Amino acid sequence: MSRRTVRYHGAKMRLRELRGARPRTFVMVHGIGVSSDYFEPLAHALHPHGDVLLLDLPGFGGLPKPGNPLSIAGFADIVLAGIEQEGIENPVLVGHSMGAQVVVDLLARHDISSHAVLIGPVVNPHEPRLSQQALRFLQSATHESRRLRLLASRAYLRCGPAWFLEVLPAMMRYPMRERLQEVRADTLVVTGEHDAVVPVQWLEEILRLLPSGHGAVIPGAAHNVVYEHWQPAADVMLHHLGLTSGAAER
C-alpha cells in the first residue's frame, strides 16, 4: 500500500491506499482506540471493485495526538480534507464504530457521497452511560477471537489511555439521532448478530431516522465484524452498491 499524510489545523492523518484506477473509491474510517489495520481484510475484498483509502485518524495508529482534543466534527473535517487532497469524487464512505459517527457528521454537513456504509454505529441512546457501553463492549468481545483481542490490545496501547480518554467524551455525547436525519446518501447500516453494542433495536431506529437507509445483520459476527467477518461484510456492501447479487439487506 502507498502511504502519505494529511495535515489540517495542527492535526496529522495517515492515508494508506490500494489503487487500481477503478471508477469508485472506498474511504474507510476506523473507530476509537484502534487503527486502519482492522480494515485490511475487508479492503482487499473490496479492492477488485474500486480503489480503497484507509485512514488513520489523528492520535491513533501510532500518530501523534493533536494539541487539543478533537470533536467528531473535527475528525470529519480532516477526513474531508484528505478526500479533497486526493481529488476523490463521490467516495463510498465506510465508518466503523466511532468512525460511523465521523461519516455521519461529514455527510450531514457535506453532500459529497451518493452511498455510505455505517458498521456498528455507536452510541446506542437507550444505554447512554459509559458503564453500560463498557459492559456491551465486553459482552461483544466474548464472541470474538483471541487473535482479534490481541490486535485490539496492541492498538489501544499505541493510542495510549490519555488520548483515548480525551476523545471518549466526544463519542459519548455525539447527537447521532439528530445528525442521521440530515444524511442524504443512500446508507447501509451493518451490525453483527452478537454485537451487544449495536442491538437490533438501535439498528431499526437508525433505519427509521435515515432518509434512505438499509440494514444488514451478519450471522455469527460481533462488534468488530469488519475484521473477522470481512467476506460477508464485503458481500452486503457490494450488494448495496449494485455490484453483486450477494446477501440481502433488511
**Domain coverage including residue 220:** 2-240
- Whether 221 is in a domain gets the answer yes
Which residues face 189 on adjacent strands? 118, 215
The enclosing domain of 166 has a CATH number of 3.40.50.1820
pLDDT, averaged across the chain: 93
- Whether 118 is in a domain gets the answer yes
Contact at 8 Å (CB) between 78 and 8? yes
Burial of 127 (0-12, 13-18, 19+ CB in 10 A): middle
Contact at 8 Å (CB) between 93 and 87? no
pTM of the model: 0.94
- Whether 246 is in a domain gets the answer no
Report whether pLDDT(247) > 60: no
- Whether 208 is in a domain gets the answer yes
Q: What is the pLDDT of residue 110?
A: 98
Residue 46, all three cell numbers = 473490496
Q: What confidence tens digit (pLDDT) does each residue in 85-106 have?
A: 999 999 999 999 999 999 999 9
Over 115-134, what HEC string results? EEEEECCCCCCCCCCHHHHH
Residue 34, all three cell numbers = 484502534
What gap in Å lies between CA 118 and CA 189, rounded to an integer?
5
